[in-house]
Structure 1
Amino acid sequence: MKAIVYERYGPPDVLQLREVAKPVPKDNEILIKVYATTASAGDWRLRKADPFLARMFNGLRKPKRVRILGFELAGVIESTGGGVTRFKPGDAVYAACGTGFGAYAEYKCLPETGSVVLKPANITFEEAAAVPVGACTALQFLRKGNIRRGNRVLVYGASGSVGTYAVQLAKHFGAEVTGVCSTPNVELVRSLGADSVIDYTKERFSEGGPTYDIIFDTVGKSPFKVCIKRLTPDGFYLQAVHVSPLPIIRGLWINLTSGKKVIGESLKESAEDLTYLKELIEAGALRSVIDRRYPLEQAAEAHRYVEQGHKKGNVVLNVGVQRA
């Protein structure tokens, strides 16, 4: 089968299209013919070993644990192991691949008990592939922030993959939502349901102004001190991205010395969350935002674009034949 493989850390050009062995499902696994995946921040950071700590996970000098990237996918089950009972060949599914990655390939095996569920019936494979990481991250963080009706929520990086879902989910939970983004993305964020939008190229997010029950930084670029000051006394500062240990240390201090909480845990794959999101999507309460689409063989170009940090929502890689 064809797959995008990388054998050294570095720029996007380390991604190479290769022929590799097609996986065979174990007794408890399903074999998925991949139709679509995404080029995400997690993919390019692991490819580049940025931050350096990524090497502790994937090999100090070169990639060892993960050589095929791709953290999420949508496709159709081609075959199943003998012990599989939840799925059958022909089922359309979407999934998060976990720390094994591997979606930049024509086929991927996953355990039937993993973070994989039937695809929402009313969206395409491209749209479905863009859900598991961004939407699950947004959902899990908002829940950790104890979101409830009437909360004032600020989403920093509201036009990115996690941010576009965070705006929609916060509105679904009954919050008053403010999004922070750049000028070209203001109308997009409004269209997702934001009650107000701060254009950071024109308006500085400073210490003065309203307080928020939740400030959700989806991109790791919000000013820490300012955000803490803009929280209510028992508010939550949610940090989906950590590029250094410093925010973690500062967050622990805030948690110990005030009623405010700083939360920066990572995504936990969850079939239950994907099922919940499927219901929201089929009810018309949640949608994917897709910026660009590339064929699998242009994965390097997709990474080059995503690494610039200006994508709107998600960037999709088409792997197989698409169908509704």
Structure 2
Amino acid sequence: MKAIICTKYGPPDVLQLKEVEKPAPKDNEVLIKIYATTVSSGDARMRGSTFPKGFWLPGRIALGLIKPKKSILGYELAGEIEAIGKDVKRFNEGDLVFGFTGASFGANAEYICLPEERVVVKPDNMTYEEAASVPFGALSSLFFLRDKGNIQSGQKVLIYGASGSLGTFAIQLAKHFGSEVTGVCSTTNLELVKSLGADKVIDYTNEDFTKYGKTYDIIFDTVGKTSFSRCKSSLKQKGFYLAAVAGLPQFVQMLWTSMIGSKKVIGGITPGRTEDLIFLKELIEAGKIKSVIDRHYPLEQIAEAHSYVEKGHKKGNVVITLEHNNKT
């Protein structure tokens, strides 16, 4: 099978298209023929070894000190089950699914084997490309807003980086939970963020949301471009500053604010639970949330996709389509 191989850390051109052995499912696994995958900011950080501040060494220890332990990157996928292990109970051959690989990566390839609990039946009202775009951004936003931020109906929520993968899902999820949502993005993305349901949109190139005296129950920085010290005065008492991209300074603040003061800094690693993916699927099928796709690339042009993602200006998601993708 074809796969994108990353044998060393570095710029996008370290990625190489190669023929590798097609995997076979273990007893509890399904073999998925992948029709669509993505390049996320997480993929770009992994490939370039650009971990959050203070986490370069722990990141290298976890993911590979000299070179990546997992040579095939990719967190998200959508496709068709081609074979199942003898202990698989939830799926049959031919089922259409989407899923999230977690730390095992491996989705930038024509086939992948995953434990059955890692995938869910694809929403009927989504293409493979749209479904593959869901797990990374939507699971992360759900984890931060609902599990960490305890989002409640009627709260005021500010999403910083509202036009990215996490941001576009965060807006829609915050609206689903009944919050009043302010999105912060660049000039070119104002209309997109409005169209997703934001009650107010702030152009960060022209306005500084911290200067107007408005306060929020939750400030969710999806891109790691603000700081708690800058946003503290814009948080209500008992408010949460959610840091999706948390380095060592944020973790120190998390510990400190957990002991002192009413305003809390919260970070964490998205667990990627099956029940959360099912919850998101139900919202999708109910028409409550949708994917935003910026660009499509074939597998052979994945280095270009990484270069684009690395610039930090993508709108929603960047999708990789595979040659054998002949279905919608």
- Equivalent in the alignment of 2:98: 94
Q: 1:248 aligns with which of 241, 251, 272?
A: 251
Cα RMSD (Å) of the superposition?
1.0
Q: 1:289 aligns with which of 292, 317, 320?
A: 292
User: Within 2, Cα distance between the matches of 1:284 and 1:264?
Assistant: 29
- Give the letter aligned to residue 7 of structure 1: T
Q: 1:257 aligns with which of 257, 260, 278?
A: 260
Q: 1:109 aligns with which of 113, 117, 121?
A: 113
- Give the letter aligned to residue 63 of structure 2: N
Is 1:150 aligned with 2:151? no
Is 1:133 aligned with 2:157? no
**SS of 1:117 mapped into structure 2:** strand
User: Within 1, Cα distance between the matches of 2:208 and 2:326?
Assistant: 43
User: Within 1, Cα distance between the matches of 2:65 and 2:177?
Assistant: 43
- Give the letter aligned to residue 40 of structure 1: S
User: Within 2, Cα distance between the matches of 1:256 and 1:228?
Assistant: 16
TM-score of the superposed pair, with normalisation by structure 2:
0.96
User: Within 1, Cα distance between the matches of 2:29 and 2:251?
Assistant: 37
Unaligned stretches of 5+ residues in structure 1: none
**SS of 1:277 mapped into structure 2:** helix
The residue correspondences of 1:11-22 to structure 2 (distance < 5 A) are 11-22=11-22
Is residue 207–residue 226 contact of structure 1 (8 Å, CA) maintained in 2?
no
**SS of 1:299 mapped into structure 2:** helix
**SS of 2:210 mapped into structure 1:** coil
Is 1:195 aligned with 2:199? yes
Is 1:42 aligned with 2:36? no
Following superposition, the deviation at residue 9 of structure 1 comes to 0.7
TM-score of the superposed pair, with normalisation by structure 1:
0.97
Structure 1 stretches of at least 4 aligned residues deviating more than 3 Å after TM superposition = none
User: Within 2, Cα distance between the matches of 1:220 and 1:271?
Assistant: 27
Render the CA deviation track for 1:256-298: whole Å, top value 9, x for unaligned: 1112221101110111011111111111100000000000011
Following superposition, the deviation at residue 321 of structure 1 comes to 1.1
**SS of 1:301 mapped into structure 2:** helix
- Equivalent in the alignment of 1:27: 27
User: Within 1, Cα distance between the matches of 2:266 and 2:30?
Assistant: 35
Is residue 228–residue 241 contact of structure 2 (8 Å, CA) maintained in 1?
no
Following superposition, the deviation at residue 61 of structure 1 comes to 1.4
Render the CA deviation track for 1:1-55: whole Å, top value 9, x for unaligned: 0000011110000000000000000111000000001000110111111122331
User: Within 2, Cα distance between the matches of 1:322 and 1:151?
Assistant: 44
**SS of 1:238 mapped into structure 2:** strand
User: Within 2, Cα distance between the matches of 1:122 and 1:169?
Assistant: 18
Is 1:235 aligned with 2:235? no
- Equivalent in the alignment of 1:271: 274
- Give the letter aligned to residue 33 of structure 1: K
Following superposition, the deviation at residue 207 of structure 1 comes to 4.5
User: Within 2, Cα distance between the matches of 1:228 and 1:274?
Assistant: 32
Render the CA deviation track for 1:46-96: whole Å, top value 9, x for unaligned: 111112233112221112x21000001000000001111100000000000
- Give the letter aligned to residue 119 of structure 2: V
User: Within 2, Cα distance between the matches of 1:223 and 1:45?
Assistant: 20
User: Within 1, Cα distance between the matches of 2:45 and 2:192?
Assistant: 26
User: Within 1, Cα distance between the matches of 2:185 and 2:261?
Assistant: 29
**SS of 1:221 mapped into structure 2:** coil
- Equivalent in the alignment of 1:7: 7
Unaligned stretches of 5+ residues in structure 2: none
Percent identity at matched positions?
Answer: 61
